[in-house]
Structure 1
Amino acid sequence: MSEDSRYEAVRSRDARFDGAFFFAVSTTGIYCRPSCPATTPRRRNVSFFPTAAAAQGSGYRACRRCRPDAVPGSAEWNARADVVGRAVRLIGDGVVDREGVAGLASRLGYSARQLQRQLTAELGAGPTALARAQRAHTARVLLQTTGLPIAEIAFAAGFASVRQFNDTVKEIYALTPSGLRAVRPGTRSGPTSPSGTPGVLPLRLAFRGPYAARQVFDHLQARALGGIEEVTGAPGRRTYRRTLRLPHGTGIVEVDEAVGDGWLDCRLHLAELRDLTTATQRVRRLFDLDADPYAVGERLGADPVLAPLVARSPGLRSPGTVDPVELAVRAVLARRTGTGAGRDLGERLVAGYGEPLPRPVGSLTHLFPRAAELARAPLAGLAPSPSRAAALRSLAAALAARDVVLDAGTDRDRAERALRALPGIGPWTAGYVRMRALGDPDVLLGAPPPGTTPALWSPWRSYATHYLHAADPAGTPARHSPQEERIDA
């Protein structure tokens, strides 16, 4: 987009571009999302930034009316496979807070200086500034949804000191932490947690455009593993719950099917508040909340075969996962057995090798087994055949040794090659893992219908896969090796 086209999006308050760019007004010192309802500023007073961190780095503070820090992420970061896209995904997962810039650079295979240069050149902010902006957003959520002491919030959000926390909040929001807490929006307020306990964190998970919640919840309900997942309630009012294994502790997430005005209601139960950012980002990936349904609809709707499917289900998503290791193991279990049988095997695996929760919550009793545990497990009676058990054990060993890496910022091509080098994993299973565990929006599973041109669907072929599967759940199996059978997308 040119700056003039960006300004036209601001003039029309076009929510399609929320998160794709931000604009700042020199006369007020404030930056906003494109759909901000405030009076449109004059063109000569407006500057544009690719990220909120870049706007903050130029001295602008966040608008209290449109809350630009709460917008969906740009779908570009899911589509891009270069180092910048990979870095943004890892920063979102909290890697800089846990491992520092050096740890981020090491994961990407770059020096810290090279990484700083690339991110600054393209995003207007380096990894430290991007992580700082994310910490500020986490702090605002905690201030406005809990009654925790401010000092606890500072460290839970990832700040090194209370002073750093105070200075950052004042700079970004032009308020002290106490002042920011006092102006919590009424629509976001909820039950506050007692001082000193994590409690329940009510969140609104923003998305752009239409959201086909029914199909996403159908997808998750059909595959829910007892012990770690459950879906309760009637269609249209369902709630999805599951356990989370997080860097500092455990968690449980609840997400409601009922769609608000651009958000899904979510509640997080965390053993460690420091995991809030990571947990939120992983839930966003599971529900594919950073997708761009406008771009998907425009590209796929141009195909005469897909056009009626797109019109019938606008906003169809490509669900991801909160745990790439779990997803890969479940894909191997479901190979040649189908979704139902794969789910039964998964539940037996959870019961036999899962880690019990400190305190069960209803039917949620376990965390999914760790890869290292499965690599040394006998798996007797838990796999339908010796060859399946061997494939599962081989995958678990490769994941535990990090010979196969499925982190948020991993190189997708390299990960797929490593998966396909393992016994029992063919192109379909590797593609399925790439689509869901690595969030690749451009994976086509299955043979395309006659008369279509899949190359023209790129970079949204994962969504085409889901549209085709929704239209014909039985489907046509992919062209695959004789040793491998399809897994329902």
Structure 2
Amino acid sequence: MIDAETSYQAVSSRDARFDGVFYTAVRTTGIYCRPSCPATTPKRQNVHFYPSAAAAQGAGFRACRRCRPDTSPGSPEWNVRADLVGRAMRMIGDGVVDREGVTGLAARLGYSERHLTRELVAELGAGPQALARSQRAHTARLLLQTTELSATDTAFAAGFASVRQFNDTMRQVYGLTPTELRRKPTRSAAAAVPPGAIALRLAHRGPLAAGQLFDFLALRAVPGVEEVTTTGRVRSYRRTLALPGGPGIAEVDQPRGQQGRLDCRLTLTSLRDLTCAVQRIRALFDLDSDPDAVDRRLGADPVLAPLVAARPGLRSPGHVDPHELAVRAVLGQQVTVAAARTLAGRLAARYGEPLPVPSGGLTRLFPTAAALAEADSADLAMPGARQRALRGLCAALADGSVDLAPGVDREQAAASLLALPGIGPWTVSYVRMRALADPDAYLPTDIGVRHGLRAAGATAAVDDSAWRPWRSYAVHHLWAALNSQEAKQN
């Protein structure tokens, strides 16, 4: 939590970089806002700052209807930090408390409920139940305003235990009843959303290098599982999702210009998966990043400075399924991106669970680790050593001896991966960077990184320690520099 005077300066200048980092509560109105709220700046003596929306709600403040602070990007701190609080926040965001309760969250983290609650309250002003409750309220508001679900169905879909709890929470958080919160979509908005889909706007901070982000995903899109389409002037990334309640489909539009958000549509088997699906899409597009902090650090390096200037807001894409990403990392060992994608597509066609109803080019989920552990050798067009590495990885993922779930201890996960035959430092670093959303993973032996350094004009060994804690972003800048050079040559 930054100091109060700096916070007030951010509020006075309506600095959107701090949205989601802290929340501003005004005693005279009983309302809490994001720092960039366009309302008149309150007097300093009337303002109190909270590190989380849940803390502001617990203190009796309700969300501003103008700036909608519950839609702020998540704090960039949680991916950077590997301590108990950072890991807990990643798990809460993925919906672990809604599915398994605080007991399940504490068990996953390896701490008692009491200790976990004490740590979260000390740093965020709210315990795990209150943080999850705040998240449920946001999910319920989305459902009320984007679907035709009844209030009762919305309550249980959002994860509330009872309608009474749902009603009380919505009145406390928003100052309105569920009926008052519901609004009918405009005709144009309704026409743009497929039947059964939920339309969302996913906020992000600062600039977003959208073209490079969508190009990166398009180049690696697995046939049947992912696709990039263009309708009119709108380019969209679409993919299937393996969610706790059943398969889903996500569709995200590439923005034109800097809108501060991505338009997204989700089609879910179970609406209870909404929170989980949103969090996974945010991780895939790295929407909780702080691009100003990243660009400031990397832009100070003489090798990276021109690359940062050319692509401000470059993201480090995560993934929606850590098991899928780990498998694809092994498939990509010592082969081109195109070859890895082709092999992944063949395995998906052979072992992936078909969707109940295909959607465009999306026909199936990516195969589970358990299914690939038993894959026929004839379907694995790779050397024997890599086949054994793939089978060993999939068996370890299937039996839980390697855990890549959100919030896992990254060092422990890396050690477990390295203990498997055929899994080396490159694979582990790639998994850390994308499956575990580590902002500081580096791939010094990667051929693309080496060629990218040459393309950037590096004539000697570089000191990558100067890039910490954003080395994952440096990797993407070097890959982008290489791709740009190859495009010019062609």
TM-score normalised per structure 2? 0.93
Alignment partner for residue 238 of structure 1, among 231, 235, 255? 235
Which 10-residue stretch deviates more, 441-450 or 149-158? 441-450
Question: 2:284 matched to which residue of 1?
Answer: 286
How far apart are the structure 1 equivalents of 2:5 and 2:361? 54
Conserved? CA contact 2:235–2:254, under 8 Å: yes
Task: Tell me the CA shift for residue 2 of structure 1.
Answer: 1.6
Which residue of structure 1 lines up, in the alignment, with residue 90 of structure 2?
Answer: 89
Of 290, 298, 318, the match for 2:296: 298
Partners of 1:170 and 1:374 lie apart in 2 by: 48
Does residue 378 of structure 2 align to residue 380 of structure 1? Answer: yes
User: Hey, what's the Cα distance between the residues in 2 that align with 1:300 and 1:394?
Assistant: 37
Distance 1:474 1:8, change over 3 A: closer
Please give the per-residue CA displacement for 1:374-402, whole angstroms capped at 9, x wherever unaligned: 11222323231222211111000000111
| 1:393 matched to 2:391 | yes
Q: What SS does the corresponding residue of 1:258 show, helix, strand or coil?
A: coil
Q: Does residue 201 in structure 1 map to residue 202 in structure 2?
A: no
Query: Secondary structure in 1 aligned to 2:300?
Result: coil
SS of the residue aligned with 2:114?
A: helix
Distance (Å, rounded) in 1 between the aligned partners of 2:337 and 2:142: 37
Superposed CA deviations along residues 227-280 of structure 1, whole A, max 9, x for unmatched, are 101101189731111000001111000000124621011000111111000000
C-alpha separation between the residues in 2 aligned to 1:256 and 1:240? 6
1:354-393 C-alpha deviation (Å, 9 max, x unpaired): 1111111121111111111111222323231222211111
3-state SS in 1 of match to 2:223: coil
Whole-angstrom CA distance in 2 between matches of 1:219 and 1:123: 35
| Change over 3 Å in CA distance of 1:347–1:94 after alignment to 2 | same
Instruction: Return the offset for 1:474.
Output: 9.7
What amino acid is aligned across from residue 389 of structure 1 in structure 2? Answer: Q
SS in 1 for 2:379: coil
CA distance in 2, matches of 1:451, 1:65: 51
Residue 320, structure 1, aligned to residue 334, structure 2: no
User: What is the one-letter code of the residue matched to 2:374?
Assistant: R
TM-score by length of 1: 0.93
Change (3 A) 1:189 1:233: closer
Residue in 2 that maps onto 1:149: 150
Q: Give the structure 2 partner of residue 347 of structure 1.
A: 345
Find the counterpart in structure 1 of residue 443 from structure 2: 445
The question of whether the paired residues in 2 share the 8 Å contact of 1:211 and 1:316 is answered with yes
Report which stretch shifted further, 373-382 or 325-334: 373-382
Partner of 1:69: 70
1:7 pairs with 2:4: no
Counterpart of 1:34? Answer: 35
Q: State the partner residue of 2:221.
A: 224
Match among 246, 255, 258 for residue 255 of structure 2: 258
Alignment partners' CA distance in 1, 2:77 and 2:25:
21
Separation in structure 2 between the aligned mates of residue 247 and residue 65 of structure 1, nearest angstrom: 34
Match of 2:178 in 1: 177
Structure-2 change in CA distance of 1:36 and 1:186 (3 Å): farther
* More helix per residue: 2
Deviations 1:278-303 (A, max 9, x none): 00000000000000000001111111
Change (3 A) 1:235 1:405: farther
Please report how far the alpha carbon of residue 192 of structure 1 lies from its aligned counterpart in structure 2 after TM superposition: 10
Query: 1:189, 1:234 → 2: CA distance?
Result: 16
Question: Is 2:469 the counterpart of 1:462?
Answer: no
Partner secondary structure for residue 208 of structure 2: coil
* Deviation, structure 1 residue 122: 0.5
SS of 2:253's equivalent in the other structure is strand
State the alpha-carbon separation in 1 of the partners of residues 378 and 412 from structure 2. 32
Q: Are residues 47 and 76 of structure 1, via their aligned partners in 2, closer, same or farther at CA, if it must alter by over 3 Å?
A: same
- Please tell me whether the aligned partners of residues 203 and 287 of structure 2 are also in contact (alpha carbons under 8 angstroms): yes
Matched, 1:47 2:48: yes
**Alignment partner for residue 212 of structure 1, among 195, 200, 209?**
209
Match of 1:421 in 2: 419
Partner amino acid, structure 1, of 2:104: G
Gap change, CA 1:258 and 1:192, over 3 Å in 2: closer
Shift in CA distance, 451/193, structure 1 to aligned 2, threshold 3 Å: closer
Do the aligned partners of residues 60 and 233 (structure 1) sit closer, same or farther apart at CA in structure 2, a change above 3 Å counting? same
Match in the other structure for 1:24: 25
Alpha-carbon RMSD: 1.9
Q: Determine if contact 1:145/1:189 at 8 Å carries over to the other structure.
A: no
Aligned residues: 471
